Every structure is written in C-alpha cells, then in structure tokens.
Structure 1
Amino acid sequence: MTSRNKPVEDNGFQRPQINRTRDLRIPNYYTEAIDGEFRDYAFNEERAPLNKGHWRSEIFKVKEDVAMDLEIGTGNGTHFQHQAVQNPTRCIVGLELKYKPLIQSIRGCLRKSATNARICRYHAMNLDLLFEPGELNNVYIHFPDPWVSPRKPKNRFVNERVLNLLWDLQRPGSFLDFKTDSREYFLWSMEQIRQSKYEIVFETMNLHQSEVASDNFMTQFEKIFTKQGIEINFVRLRKK
C-alpha cells in the first residue's frame, strides 16, 4: 500500500501499514511459528485487532480488574520476559514488528512457564485499533528509533498524538516508562510530555546514576549503550 492510499484521519494522520504475514513469498521458521507453534500466544497483524476489548476475557481468561500491561517494541524480549516472570498476577502484551525477536520474546516467556504473556505483530502507531479505551495499565517504551533525520517529528513515536492516545487507553493510576539513549530525542519528547495530561513522576538524563538505578532492569540495548559510555535518559509518567 502506497502512501497515497493509506487511511487518512481528519487530523491528517496517515495510518502506517505493514505487510501481511500470509503474503510472504518465502516463509521461514519464525514467520510460520506466529500462526503455528505459538498461535495461542502470538498474533499476526490480522488476528491481533480481533482481540480489541476482549484481551482479558477471551485471551488471558482473567477478570476485568486484573492488570494488563503493554511493552512497545520487545526486541529480543529480555525485559518482556522479566516483567512476565516477576509479575505472575499481571498480564502483559508485547508489540514487535520483526518476526525473529517476536518469537524469541514469547518463546522465552513460555520456557520460563510465564503463560501470562502474549505478543502481537502490529504497528504501535495504530494502538487504538488494538485496544479499547481503559483497557491498558502500565506501558513500557524502551529505546524506540530516535529518527534523527529531518523528518523526525513526523516519525518519532513519543509525540503529542501518541501521548493522547495512550492516555485514553490506560486506566487511572497507571504509569508510562520511556527510555532512550538519544538526548536529542529525549529533550524533544519532554516538550511533548509537558504539554500532555500526564504527571511527571521522575525524570533523569542519567538513569544509572539516579536514585532509581537500583530498581532498573537493564535491557540488551541498554547494556550495549552503557558499555559505550552513553548515558540513559528516562522518564516515568502517571495517569492520575
């Protein structure tokens, strides 16, 4: 689908589209596993939105008051697995576009007997097609693409539209964590955040030297950046 015929909202936002798994010409283990071996725990781009409004009742089989968190961009799944294992009474949904890390993420959870996790191949800019307002609790956004090109404001994920969207999707009292190694992206995002409805609980441009360092779980990317001497920017927001 070209940019000319992407769905366009009244505010001019063009919904990003991704290729369909069933249209892949040369499938491999990871592309087949999402609808095969891990079908009950992993959802492709066509099946995922069918769960909107029914994640707790139909997918996790839990009561509506059980917490359900979201990790946007699981990567190879170290933090995703950590959250699932350490919080067995909470549910967690992960989003990841790439097939291999998607399968690695959910497979790692299941190998650790963490059956409270599900994962979707879905574009994070379209979260409102995946969840109903008030369906989410905590949200984790770790090291998204900083988009340092001239078109950065258009493509950066932590922006005004997404913040408003997440606010609607989260339940009161929930928090949103954002980490990035890009100082430029962090400062740009903080301008967006300060104009949002969120309360800033904690903000730092050097996470590992901050008062919350001992509670921080280091992702794979985070370990790499730290070894390179790069300071990690972090902010925790809360929906009152």
Structure 2
Amino acid sequence: MLDSHTLKLKPIANINSPNNYIIALQQEYNQWAYTEEQAPQFKGQWRQQVFNKPDSAFLDLEIGTGNGLFFAHQATKHPERCLIGIERKFKPLVQSIRRALRQGATNARVLRYDAEVPWNLFAPSELNNIFIHFPDPWPKMRWHKNRLIQTEYLQKLIELQREKSYLEFKTDHRGYFDHALKVFQNSAYKMEGYTYDLHQSEFAEQNFVTHFESIFLHKGQPIYYALLSKN
C-alpha cells in the first residue's frame, strides 16, 4: 500500500518522446483530462472548479476505467451526475474520455493517477458512489500485499464518500473475492449484498457488462460482485 504522497507512475513531463495518446490527452482532450500534476490542485473543489456545479451535485468515481465502456455508459445514463475516472495508462484514458464525449456526455473527466492514493485527489466527503471493476487480482501469495482492497485502503476510501453512497466491486478472481469479502465485512462499510455469480443473481438486471466482463462470460467464468454502502 502506498502512503499518502507516493506515486509510482512516471510524470508526463519526464517522458521525452510522447506517444499519440499522450499528445491526444494534452491537445484534443486537454479540457477533459488532467495529469498527475494538475489533478491534486482541485482536491476539495472538483464540483465547483471543474464541473461548475454546486456542492450538492453528485460526484462519482471509477477507479480503473479500462477501455471506458462502463465509464461512457455511466456518464450518458446519468447526465445529472458528475463522473471522474482514474487510470495510469494513456491509452485507456483516451479511450474512456473519447467514448464518453462521442456519446454526448460532457459530465465526465479522466485523471492520470495511481489508484492506490485517491485521497491525494479528493477531500473527505467529496465523493458519492465509487466503482472498482476488475482490479488486478495479484494472484500469487507473495503479491497479495499489492491488492487494492486492503483494510487501510477502505478506511481511507470511505472517508472520501458522503453518507448514503455506494461502493461497487467486481472481479473474475475467486481468491481475490474471498479476500475482499473478509476485508469488506470488517470495514466501516455496510454490506448491501454480494454474489458468487452476478449474472444469475438479483443484481443482474441492473448490471452493465464491461469489456473484461464480456470476455470472462464468453469463457463461462462467473463474475463475483459486492455492493456496499456508507450509512
């Protein structure tokens, strides 16, 4: 687990030969995308300074947008809510904001940042719902310490959320899910429900199938799901 200030990613300013995705973020999508240097400057002020919304507006976060299918869907389905997506890699950042904008969503922004330290970006009680879909399971025992869902992480994450907000978690990895459930059940979150087979559960009707999810379903792999709340 990273401390409150450590970043693992290489600053864009230190990349001597920017690729096409970096150029796109800095030029075509510069008003929709924020670098690791820019993003922390808006801590506590995302609604007012970035989205031009009152403090009462909803502000949701997707940690790890992937190719942006869910990100774009969420932004277009809920135009009344502001949405921020965090990613480290440049290609998924571009894919995510491009998909959202092409679908007419102007309520979305993407940030290049490490998922391990969102408290560098957001103040206590600044966020509403948080989505964590298919994070790296770090399957080998010696790697488990790198898993995103840890006790300390949830202790800090819940402080960023407002009352009556949700945390949604999905994974295709049974071992990671078992680990996450134990952490969830010993956290300050309230467990609203969980399932070892999302698509055969009561949660299936409201579920949006992500890119990774469709791949796993095609292979016959069940999707593990948990929904938690801050009350």
| Band of TM-score, shorter chain | over 0.9
Give matches, 1:55-204, under 5 Å. 55-204=46-195
Q: What is the Cα deviation at residue 169 of structure 1?
A: 0.1
1:230 paired with 2:230, answer: no
Counterpart amino acid of residue 219 in structure 2: Q
CA deviation string 1:143-179 (max 9, x = no partner):
0000012333310001111111111000000000000
Identity %: 45
CA drift at 1:212: 1.4
Runs of 4 or more above 4 Å deviation:
none
What are the ranges of 5 or more consecutive residues in structure 2 without an aligned counterpart? none
TM-score, scaled relative to structure 1 = 0.93
Q: Is the 8 A contact 1:15 1:125 kept in 2?
A: no
In the alignment, structure 1 segments of 5+ residues that lack a partner are 1-6
Per-residue Cα deviation, 1:88-135 (whole angstroms, up to 9, x for no partner): 000000001110110110011111110000000000111111000000
2:186 and 2:219 map into 1 onto residues whose CA distance is 33
Query: How large is the Cα RMSD of the aligned pairs?
Result: 1.3
Residue number among 10, 23, 27 corresponding to 1:19 in the alignment: 10
The structure 2 residue matched to 1:215, chosen from 194, 199, 206, is 206
1:118 aligned partner, one-letter code: R
Q: How many residues align?
A: 230
Aligned to 1:34: 25
Mapped contact 2:3–2:117 kept (Cα < 8 A): no
Which range moved further: 171-180 or 17-26? 17-26
Identify which range, 41-50 or 14-23, moves more after superposition.
14-23
1:53 aligns with 2:44: yes
Q: Alignment partner of 2:26: what SS?
A: coil
Q: 2-side partners of 1:152 and 1:231: how far apart?
A: 23
Alignment pair present for 1:239 and 2:230: yes
Contact 2:65/2:71 (<8 A) preserved? yes
Query: How far apart are residue 8 of structure 1 and its match?
Result: 5.4
Inter-partner Cα distance in structure 1 for 2:115 and 2:40: 12
Deviation at 1:16, TM superposition (A): 3.9
Indicate the larger mover: 152-161 or 186-195. 152-161
For normalisation by structure 2, the TM-score amounts to: 0.96
Classify the secondary structure of the residue corresponding to 2:164: coil
- Aligned counterparts of 1:112 and 1:212: Cα–Cα separation in 2: 25
Secondary structure of 2:141's match? coil
